[in-house]
Structure formats: structure tokens, C-alpha cells
Structure 1
Amino acid sequence: MVDDIKDSTADGVRTLRIAAMGDLHVSEDAQASYRDLFSEISREADVLVLTGDLTNLGKPREAELLAEDLRNCSIPVVGVLGNHDYESGAVEDVTNILRQAEVRLLDGQAIEIEQVGFVGVKGFVGGFGARMLGSFGEPAIKAMVAESVNEAMQLENAMRQVRAKRTLVILHYAPIADTVAGEPLEIFPFLGSSRLAETIDRFKVSAVVHGHAHRGSYEGRTPGGAKVYNVAMHVDKPSGRPYALLEI
């Protein structure tokens, strides 16, 4: 099943079919390969979007294994990194390996493919709505909030670069609580931040995709009405596959 993202500004423009998935968690001792899945996606979609946690421990060898599998992907690949990709302190190496494999990794940038803008940031924690963490108290809390604000500012700056009439926002962390529903309530503040949704709702956005919440829910909306999809591999999707299929 394909989710059709209606966008009245795109009348007469070719619809772009996007496969979106996250949380591959490729490890050094992985027994499974994604090669067949990437070949399948190449037949089903025009662009593959990856929403972070591409590696399990952020090791360069894990990125190399993913890069090898991506050779079977014959369509453009766009993505962001996730928190697991930072674990080993080798994020620059991981980034370089994946970019050499022609993955267009975004970190506060925007690109355009087939008249669709792709905007990506990792995002960060902080919580949702009235329970969102405020910048008060210990320096460690203020630093955490500052990082969350910085990610939202990077997203806003990237959105201002977009000239296309259709835009897909790519995140790792969730911008709304609806798509993390199903996770333990105690960890909600660590799954995303409403600051991302506040930024998204300042712009015209066709759809938003994220990962991170393995036990979350597939679909929700920002307060401003933008459609949000949790495309973590473990989340059930209408496609019945590990990836979501969106038409924009």
C-alpha cells in the first residue's frame, strides 16, 4: 500500500515515489544482508530515504558493510544519522564512508530531486507539548535544551533554502508524541522534541519521516497538520514491508 501525500501545488508535476526506512542498526557480526531489500526498493521507488541509526555502534566497519549492501540500490539515497551512529566517536568516518557510497547525508542541509525538496537534521530529545523540557536549573539541563534548540534552528535554516513546492523533512528523532505512542511513557522525553514540530509548522511541508521509536506508531500529524510517519523498521506499515512507500 502506498501513502499518497496530496499537494495541490504539485498538479501537473510527476509524482515521486519514496521508500523510507530507519533503524537498520548494521553491526559488524550481522548475519543478515540488506542487498535483496535494496534491490526490491529500487524497483518500487524513485528515492530511498534513511532516517538514522544506520549503524549499531557507529563503527566505520559497520558503515562499510552498509555501503557494500547499498551497491544493490540503483536509485538516489538520502538520509540523516541517528544517535547510534555517534556512539563510537567516529561519526566523521561513518559519514565519509556513506557519502563515498553516494548516500546524500543531510545535517542541516536541503537538496532537490525531481522537483521535491529533501531537508534533513538528526533532531534531539526534549519531550513534547506542555511537558517539553525547559532551559532551567543545572548547566547540564541547559546544555541539553540548547542542543535541542540548535537542531530546530538547523532545520529552520535548511527549510529556508528550499525552493521546491513539495518538501519532505527527514529526521531521526520524533517531532510529535503521536508517532512514539506504544513506547514506555517514561522514555517519551528521550524520543524527540516538539521544537521540531514548531519549526516544521512554519513552512509548507508535504510529509515528515523519522525513526528512533521502534515500538512507536506509524502515523500522526503536527499541530499545524503536517503528516508525520515513523518509518523505523520494526514499526508496522501499510506496505507490509520494513519500509514505507510515500507518493509526493
Structure 2
Amino acid sequence: MEKQKKQETKTRIAAIGDIHVRETDAGKWTDFFKEVSSQADVLLLCGDLTDTGREAEAEILAKELKACSIPVIGVLGNHDYDKDEQEAIRKALISEDVHILDGSSVVIGDVGFAGVKGFGGGFDKGMLSMFGEPMMKAFVQEAVDESLKLDGALARLDSDYNDLKKIVLLHYAPIKATVVGEPEQIFPFLGSSRLAEPLNRRGVIAAFHGHAHIGSLESETSYGVKVFNVSKPVLIQEGYDPCFYLLEV
């Protein structure tokens, strides 16, 4: 008797970054989250969830997310750290169906999601090296640490699960191509090639980031891993309405 092949399931992933929720945004996002829920199986939020890094803004977002009937996975961005209230923001958002990742992961169906904020440092031949003043070394070390955290999260997915599709969430960019459009002088503050190393090493299908508001929507790493800049301004510029990117894996 011929053995039947296991039916492959598809997961629809919606993604957006840089939503910059304000304290005056009550009711603004309800329809958006309902629409996302009707089209996708999971929503990714790629950092800068709040506008000025205040806990009160996160509390508004948490209320708006109640309109979302699908799992939500997010990472924090640089704006979320601005007032040093990042832990309060994280706690305000986390619930049974909302996961805020920081060197951690979550599995939904046959897809494993790993996430970190990431950091700057530049790309390719322009990437900063661990040299010079202690302040410069500390800047570079932050990018190294974020890359190691991401690699660790992906490694744990590999060790705990078989045949898992892997997706990565970031705020900062892992490649230069998706920040092109921004002034080249600020590229070192928009991301780091160090973040691409775990993507290539761990067989990731795709990575999503934000942060570069006038960057480019889509490219790939040197190993062919798809990378999407889903910053809200980029999606608007590309004509996405409703304003999210949808990928089926």
C-alpha cells in the first residue's frame, strides 16, 4: 500500500514595523487589527511599537491589540528604549496571545519565530570593527551581543523541534540593501551585517525588520535568505493598503 504524503500546511504571516503608537491613539488601530486577523494567521510587529517609549503608550497598544484574534509576536525598537521604560512596555504588552521576543522564540504551528531588537554597526566592508576607544568597542559589542542572542534562540529551535520553518523578527536591518534610500551617512545606525550571520547559519526562511523609514522593501542575504523592511512608511510608499506585508510559508 502506497504511503500517503503528509499534507503541507501554510502559515500566513502579516508584518509591520514602526507603528509608533501614541497616548492619543485609542480606537485608531482597532479596525487595522481586525483586518489583519481576517487575512493572516499570525502578526509580527517589528519594533518602535511606541512613539516616545512611554509605558502609557504601550498600555494603549495593549488595549488596541484586543481586537486582534490571531497570535501577535513582536520585538522592541529604539523608540521603545528612549525613556528607559522598556521593561514596563514589555510587561504591558505580553499576554497569552502577545509575545515580545528578546533572544527568545515562540512556535506557532510548524513555524518557529525568533527575535531580537538588533543594533547598528554598519554593513559589509563598512561594518565597524572592535577597535579604538572603549565607547566604540561598547557600540560594536552591542551588535555582537544581539547577534549571539539571535543565534542562541535559533539554535534552541533547532534542538527542540524537527522540520521547523524559521522566521526572524528584528528592528534593525541585517543587510544594507533594505536600508538603501536612507542617507548613506546614517547606515551604521540602521543595522549591522552581524545580524545576517545567524540567518545564514541557521537556515532561516525570511527575516523582517523596520527602523529604516525610507529604505527598500525587499532583498536577501548572501545565502538567499529573504529580508523584508516592513517599516510602516515603507509599506505606505509601496502602496500597501491595509498597511502590512503578507508572506505565506
Deviations 1:197-233 (A, max 9, x none): 1221101111110000110100010111100000011
Q: One-letter code of the match for 1:243?
A: F
- Aligned-partner Cα distance in 1 for 2:96–2:89: 11
Structure 2 residue 108 is matched with structure 1 residue 113: yes
Deviation per CA, 1:81-116, whole angstroms, max 9, x where unpaired? 001001111111111000047410110011110110
Q: Residues 14-53 of structure 1 correspond to what in structure 2 (within 5 A)?
A: 14-30=9-25, 33-53=28-48
Verify the 8 A CA contact 1:57 1:85 in the aligned structure 2: yes
2:16 is aligned with what amino acid?
M
Runs of at least 5 residues in structure 2 that lack an aligned partner in the other structure? 1-5
Q: CA–CA distance in 2 between the matches of 1:102 and 1:245?
A: 19
What does 1:179-190 correspond to in 2, within 5 Å? 179-190=178-189
Bigger CA drift: 26-35 or 211-220?
A: 26-35
For the Cα contact (< 8 Å) 1:56–1:62, is it kept in 2? Answer: yes
Partner of 2:242: 241
Q: Which has the higher Rg, Structure 1 or Structure 2?
A: 2
CA RMSD between the two structures: 1.4
* Higher RCO (CA 8 Å, separation ≥ 6 residues): 1
| 8 Å Cα contact 2:27/2:64 also seen in 1 | no
1:12 lines up with 2:7 in the alignment: yes
* Contact 1:67 1:101 (8 Å CA) reproduced: no
3-state SS in 1 of match to 2:228: strand
Determine if the alignment matches structure 1 residue 228 to structure 2 residue 227: yes
Contact 1:239 1:245 in 2 (8 A): no
CA contact (8 A) 1:238 1:244 kept: no
Q: How many residues are aligned here?
A: 238
**Is the Cα–Cα contact under 8 Å of residues 207 and 226 in structure 2 kept in the other structure?**
yes
Give the AA of the match of 1:146. Q
Give the alignment of 1:161-240 within 5 angstroms: 161-162=156-157, 163=161, 164-236=163-235, 237=238, 239-240=240-241
Give, in whole Å, the separation in 2 of the partners of 1:168 and 1:62. 27
Cα deviation, 1:92-147, whole Å, max 9, x if unaligned, reads: 11110000474101100111101100010100000000110111111100000111
Q: TM-score, normalised by structure 1?
A: 0.92
Q: Equivalents in 1 of 2:73, 2:31: separation in Å?
A: 19
Displacement after TM superposition at 1:21 (Å): 0.4
What code does the residue aligned with 2:213 have? Answer: H
Partner of 1:159: 154
In 2, Cα distance between equivalents of 1:108 and 1:60: 21
Among candidates 113, 120, 123, match of residue 125 of structure 1 = 120
Cα separation, 2, equivalents of 1:85 and 1:101 = 21
Is the CA contact 2:15–2:43 (under 8 Å) kept in the aligned structure 1? yes
Residue 63 of structure 2 is aligned to residue 68 of structure 1: yes
Give how far 1:13 is off: 1.9
Q: Specify the SS of the correspondent of 1:201.
A: helix
Structure 1 gaps of 5+ residues are 1-10
